[in-house]
Amino acid sequence: MRHRLILAPLLLALSCGTASAAGPEATTEATTAGASQSLVGAAPADKAQIVFFRPSKFAGSAFGFKVREGETELGKLRSGKYFVSLVAPGAHQYTVHSEVKDVLDMEVEAGETYYVMASMNMGILAGRPNLAPSDEATFAGMAEKLSKVE
C-alpha cells in the first residue's frame, strides 16, 4: 500500500511535466501559422494564391527584381518584401531576370495557398535572382520582418 502512494504522485508529476513540455511547442506552431494566415488569409475557392516573398538580408538588398508570368508583371520584390498573386488553377511559369534568368514552373489547385521564396545571389555585374518553392512555416517564421509590396 505504501509503495502505491509514493508512486502515484511521482507518475502524476511526470505526466504533468510531459504535457507542459509539449504545450509551448504546440502553442508556438499555432501562433506561427496564425501569423501567416493573418498576413495572407485563405485562398478563394475558385483561385489559387501564391505568396512570393524575399527574406530581409543585407547581401543583395540594393537589388530588386520583377516577378513575371509571361509578359505580365506580378510584382517587384526587394529585400524583406512579399506579395500575393491570385491565379487560375493549372500550370503556371514564373520568371525573374537580371544578369541571368530563372524560371519556376508550378501546378496549382483552386483553394490552395502556395509559397515561393525569392533570393538574390551575387553575380559578376548584378544580382542573380532565384525563385524556389517554400512552405507556410518558412514564411511564418520570417513574417514579422516582411512588409507587403504596395
The structural domains of the chain, with segments of one domain joined by +, span: 37-148
* pLDDT band at 121; cut points 50, 70, 90: confident
CA dihedral 99, 105, 110, 111 (to 10 degrees): -60
Bigger pLDDT: 21 vs 101: 101
DSSP 143: G
pTM above 0.85, yes or no: no
pLDDT higher at 138 or 65: 138
With 0-12 / 13-18 / 19 or more C-beta atoms within 10 angstroms meaning exposed / middle / buried, residue 125 is exposed
> Considering Cα of 55, then 59, then 62, then 68, what sign does the dihedral take?
negative
For CA atoms 117, 121, 126, 132, give the dihedral sign. negative
Tell me, what amino acid is at 113? T
| Rounded Cα distance, 45 and 88, in Å | 11
Is 23 a residue whose pLDDT tops 50?
no
CATH of 37-148, one of 1.10.760, 1.10.10, 2.60.40, 3.40.30: 2.60.40
Amino acid identity of residue 2, one-letter, is R
